[in-house]
């Protein structure tokens, strides 16, 4: 009797200084109808129940999709100026045809740009590649949290049958072999309420000169809950809707990874540490890169070079 083969469905979303990358595993024998109606998520903007408490949102995600690919999951986070980064991902680890028997989809998430010319260029790029989603907030570093919530909302609305999701930065190299076969293991039962990456235990920085400055009036506590570095993390897709709904009742913070950690704490989900996720740059070595899942601060040129070298030397032993 022929064994059943699992199908890994990977959806990549890339934004400025941050990228969202979604993975899902589906069984080829199961029916997949794509997306739920947007109204099912819109309802959550009005009133959401947590236990016996029903409250109105304090942080409604009141943005609409300007460019959307609602059927992306059925078929198979960068800035407007980052075409080279998007193209490098499309041509390397984000290629939707890299793995035989594995279903992969890649998406890039953006906000609006103040420059209408750049908006038009993105729209043209979208018409060619059909892998860009844009929502009508301004694309900026301080809006990275909105991009992540946009991605959570998109997955819950249009990709609810997904099994796993990954968020990653546009300058991250992903070792897809390790991600698929060592971490997600397509032939095993999918996990639920699962979240993993490089877990950080720390507290707010009060130095106003810091990129990660957190005002006391915005976050008065001395410690953050455990959170995964925003450079790259993976979670079971059921968590997407949970985080999105929790965010409606969680005061918005500009530090996206910290904010996701706050939502996870509210949901009672503890992120698992995984040493394969690196949130720093690492000098290239074939054997070193074979042991990791992500590496940070990789340029488009390096992305191509690393991918080509690793792909051509799969037969070599370390």
pLDDT (0 to 100) of residue 128: 95
Fold of the domain built from segment(s) 7-312: Spore Coat Polysaccharide Biosynthesis Protein SpsA; Chain A (3.90.550)
Lowest mean pLDDT among 97-101, 166-170, 196-200, 238-242: 97-101
Q: Give the predicted TM-score (pTM) of the model.
A: 0.81
pLDDT in tens, 55-74: 567 877 778 788 877 777 76
Residue % of the chain over a pLDDT of 90: 59
Rounded Cα gap, residues 48 and 43, in angstroms: 8
Q: Give domain limits for the chain.
A: 7-312
pLDDT (0 to 100) of residue 43: 31
pLDDT in tens, 249-267: 999 999 999 999 999 999 9
The mean pLDDT of the chain is 82
pLDDT (0 to 100) of residue 215: 97
């Amino acid at each position: 009797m022929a064994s059943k083969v699992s199908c890994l469905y990977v959806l990549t979303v890339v934004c400025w200084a941050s990228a969202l990358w979604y993975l899902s595993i589906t069984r080829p024998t199961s029916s997949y109808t794509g997306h739920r109606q947007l109204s099912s998520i819109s309802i959550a903007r009005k009133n959401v129940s947590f236990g016996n408490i029903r409250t109105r949102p304090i942080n409604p995600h009141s943005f609409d999709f300007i460019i959307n690919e609602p059927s992306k999951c059925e078929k198979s986070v960068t800035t407007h100026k980052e075409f080279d980064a998007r193209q490098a991902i499309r041509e390397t680890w984000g290629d939707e045809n890299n793995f035989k028997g594995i279903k992969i989809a890649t998406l890039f998430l953006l906000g609006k740009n103040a420059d209408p010319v750049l908006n038009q260029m993105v729209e043209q790029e979208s018409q060619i590649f059909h892998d860009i989603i844009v929502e009508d907030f301004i694309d900026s570093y301080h809006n990275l949290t909105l991009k992540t919530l946009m991605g959570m909302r998109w997955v819950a609305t249009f990709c609810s049958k997904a099994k796993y999701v990954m968020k990653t930065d546009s300058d991250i190299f992903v070792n897809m072999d390790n991600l698929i076969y060592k971490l997600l293991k397509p032939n095993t039962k999918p996990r639920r309420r699962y979240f993993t990456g490089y877990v950080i235990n720390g507290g707010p920085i009060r130095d106003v000169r810091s990129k990660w400055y957190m005002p006391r009036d915005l976050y008065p506590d001395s410690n953050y809950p455990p959170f995964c570095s925003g450079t790259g993390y993976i979670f079971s897709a059921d968590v997407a809707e949970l985080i999105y709904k929790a965010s409606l009742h969680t005061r918005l913070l500009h530090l996206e990874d910290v904010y996701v950690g706050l939502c996870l704490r509210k949901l009672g989900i503890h992120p698992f540490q995984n040493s394969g996720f690196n949130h720093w740059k690492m000098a290239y070595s074939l054997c070193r890169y074979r042991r990791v899942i992500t590496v940070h601060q990789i340029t488009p040129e390096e992305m191509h070079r690393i991918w080509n070298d690793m792909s051509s030397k799969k037969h070599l032993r370390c």
